[in-house]
Structure 1
Amino acid sequence: MERKLIALDLDGTTLNAASGLNAATIQTMQRLQAAGHIVSIITGRSYQGSQAIYDELKLASPMINFNGSLGHLPHRTWEHEYQFTVNKAIVLALVKYREQLGISQIIAENKNSTMTAGQDVVADQFFPEVANSPRLTPETLTRNPNSLVLIVQLDRRSAVVDWIKSHFGDLVDVGIWGGPNAILEITSKGVHKAKGVAYLADRFKIARQNIIAFGDEHNDLEMLQYAGLGVAMANGTPAIKAAADDITPYNNDQNGVARYLENYFDLAE
C-alpha cells in the first residue's frame, strides 16, 4: 500500500469525550507510523494546548496548529517551519474597542506565547494556557500573533463579526465555534487546515488521493474536502457529514478514528 498522510483533528475526533486519548487510539497511530505512514495532528489548538497529546501519541511528524496558521516539528528545528500571522494593528483595534463591542476576552497566541485582555470563565475551560498569561496591551504586543480568539457576549456575536469584516475583511477570516459558547477565531485571510495538510503532503511527496483526514466541526471542512478521503465523525455536525466522503460508524468516545483506520488498513490481529 502506498504511504498515506493521516490528518487528525483533535477535539471531538481523535480525543475522547474527556479530551483525552484512549489506549486503542495511541496503539493504532503507533502501528501506522511504524508502517511508514505520516500521522499528523492538524488542530485549531495552540502548540501549548496540543504538545502533551503529540507526545502521548509518540509522533515524529510535523504538527499544524491554529487551524493552519503554524506548521512546525515539535521539539526540533525544522527548516520547513512556516507561519501565517494576524497584523497586530487589528489586534490593538479590538483591544481598544473590546468593551464597546461586547468582547469579554481577547486571546492572542503564538507558537510559544499567549497574551490576554479582559476575562471570561469560558477561556479557562477551553484555553488552559491563558492562566497567568501576560496582559495584552499596546506596550506588550510586540509581534503579530498566529491566531486571535475572541470570547464575546452571545447576543453581540453577529455585530462583532460584522464589525471585524467591515474593518478588516480583506485581511482576516472569522471562524465561529459551534456550541453554546460565543467564541470567534480570527486567522490570516485564506488560512485553514487544508493549507497545512497540503503543505505537509507537498513536503512528504504524498499525492492528494493518499491523504486521509478526520474531523467533526466547521473548521475541518476545507481539510475534509481537500483530502482524497475526508472522513467525518459519527458525532460530527450535519454540514461536515454532508461534505465528507465517509462517516465513522463510531463516535470519538468509542475510538471512532482508530477503529476506522484499523478497518481501512486491515490491522485486525
Structure 2
Amino acid sequence: MNERVALLDVDGTLRVKDAWNPGALELIDDLHRAGIHVALCSGRTTGSLTSIVKDIPHVEFLASSSGATVLQRRDGQWHVLQHTPVPRPAVDRALALATEQGIEVWGFTPREWLIERWSPRSRNEIRHINDEARTATLAEFADDFGKILLLPRTQREEAAVRELGRIKGAVVVNSGGDYTDLISESAHETKGGAAILPALNAEWDDVISMGDSENDHGMLQRAGLAVCMAPLTLEALGENRDGAIRLNAATTEQARELLARYI
C-alpha cells in the first residue's frame, strides 16, 4: 500500500501573516492521526517555514520558495532533498528589470532570504514571517536562487514582470496579494511534490492538497483530493482528471470538516 501525503499551502490556507487560522493546527493533527504524512508547501522562505513548524513535529517535509527548495526533517534537523534554481537567463533579466524600473526584488536561496537594501516592505515582512533578511548584491547569488520575488507597483510593471515567464524554463505566478514569484517551470509543476512523493513511495492518487493561489495550481491539479481555498475555486484548475476529488472551502475550519469525510 502506498503512503498517503498531504501537501498544504500556508498563507491564506493555514495562516494569515503571523498567526495560524482557526482549525489549522487541528487539521495537521487530524492528518497525522490518520497516518498521513504532512508537508507544508509555500512561497515563504526556508527560514520562515522551519521557524513556524519548530514545535510541530508532525510536519515532516517543507517546500519553500513556491516548491523550489524541498526539505525533510530527520533526527530533528532539516535536510535539503532538492533545490531547483530559476534559469539563469530569467534571473539576469529579472534583476535588470528591477533596476531599470525601480521594482523591489528579493532573492531566495535554499537557506537564505536576500535583499539589496532595506525598505519599509522588507522590514514589515520580517514581522509576518519570522525570518531575517540579509543584505547582499543579488547578482552574486544568481545561480542559487530558487525564487525571485518581485513587487510591481503598477499594471505596466506587472505586465513587464509577467514577460519574464516567456524565458525558457521559467514561470511567473502570483503567490498571494501583490507577491509575484519567478520560479522554474519544474518547481511550479508540483510545488515540491516531485521530490516529496518518491521519498514516501506515494503516488498522486494518494495526495491531499490544499491551496488558494496561482502558485498552488500544479499540486492541486495532480492530487487525488484537492481543496481549493477561497478565493481560488476548482473551476480555475480546468478539467478534472478521472477519479480525482475536488472541493471548495471558504475557511480552514470548513476545509477540516470536509476532509474529515475522507481521512
TM-score, length basis structure 1: 0.79
Distance apart, 1:257 and its partner CA: 3.2
User: Structure 2, unaligned stretches of length 5 or more?
Assistant: none
Q: Is the 8 A contact 1:250 1:256 kept in 2?
A: yes
1:27 corresponds to = 26
Distance in structure 1 (CA, Å) of the matches to 2:61 and 2:82: 11
Distance in structure 2 (CA, Å) of the matches to 1:115 and 1:206: 34
Distance in structure 1 (CA, Å) of the matches to 2:78 and 2:165: 36
Q: Is the 8 A contact 1:71 1:81 kept in 2?
A: yes
Whichever residue aligns with residue 220 of structure 2, its letter is L
User: Structure 1, unaligned stretches of length 5 or more?
Assistant: none
Q: Is the 8 A contact 2:2 2:201 kept in 1?
A: no
Distance apart, 1:165 and its partner CA: 4.4
Indicate the SS of the match to 1:11: coil
1:37 corresponds to = 36
Indicate the SS of the match to 2:186: coil
2:60 corresponds to = 61
5-14 or 243-252, larger mean C-alpha shift: 243-252
Change (3 A) 1:161 1:27: closer
2:171 corresponds to = 173
Q: Is the 8 A contact 1:72 1:82 kept in 2?
A: yes
Q: Matches of residues 158-169 of structure 1 in structure 2 within 5 Å? A: 158-162=159-163, 164-165=164-165, 169=167
What is the aligned-residue RMSD (CA, Å)?
A: 3.0
Distance in structure 2 (CA, Å) of the matches to 1:196 and 1:184: 18
The answer to whether the aligner puts 1:146 opposite 2:146 as a matched pair is yes
Distance in structure 2 (CA, Å) of the matches to 1:132 and 1:194: 27
More strand by share: 2
Indicate the SS of the match to 1:40: strand
Whichever residue aligns with residue 188 of structure 2, its letter is H
Q: Deviations over 1:216-254 (max 9, x none)?
A: 111111111100111112x232466654743345413xx
Change (3 A) 1:120 1:193: farther
Distance in structure 2 (CA, Å) of the matches to 1:124 and 1:6: 32
Distance in structure 2 (CA, Å) of the matches to 1:123 and 1:185: 15
Distance in structure 2 (CA, Å) of the matches to 1:45 and 1:98: 20
Whichever residue aligns with residue 198 of structure 1, its letter is A
Distance in structure 2 (CA, Å) of the matches to 1:41 and 1:70: 12
Indicate the SS of the match to 1:225: helix
Change (3 A) 1:135 1:223: same
Q: Is the 8 A contact 1:218 1:239 kept in 2?
A: no
TM-score, length basis structure 2: 0.80
Indicate the SS of the match to 2:39: strand
The answer to whether the aligner puts 1:236 opposite 2:241 as a matched pair is no
Q: Deviations over 1:153-184 (max 9, x none)?
A: 3132102322x346xx11321123454x3x32
2:51 corresponds to = 52
Distance in structure 1 (CA, Å) of the matches to 2:176 and 2:235: 12
Percent of counterpart pairs with the same letter?
A: 17
State the structure with more CA Rg.
Answer: 1
Indicate the SS of the match to 2:260: helix
Whichever residue aligns with residue 218 of structure 1, its letter is E
Distance in structure 2 (CA, Å) of the matches to 1:52 and 1:130: 8
Distance in structure 2 (CA, Å) of the matches to 1:242 and 1:161: 20
Q: Is the 8 A contact 1:241 1:247 kept in 2?
A: no
Distance apart, 1:86 and its partner CA: 2.2
1:188 corresponds to = 184
Distance apart, 1:187 and its partner CA: 1.0
Distance in structure 2 (CA, Å) of the matches to 1:159 and 1:58: 42
Runs of 4+ in 1 over 6 A off after TM superposition: none
Q: Deviations over 1:55-93 (max 9, x none)?
A: 343225121111221111245264x71110125564344
Distance in structure 2 (CA, Å) of the matches to 1:154 and 1:250: 29
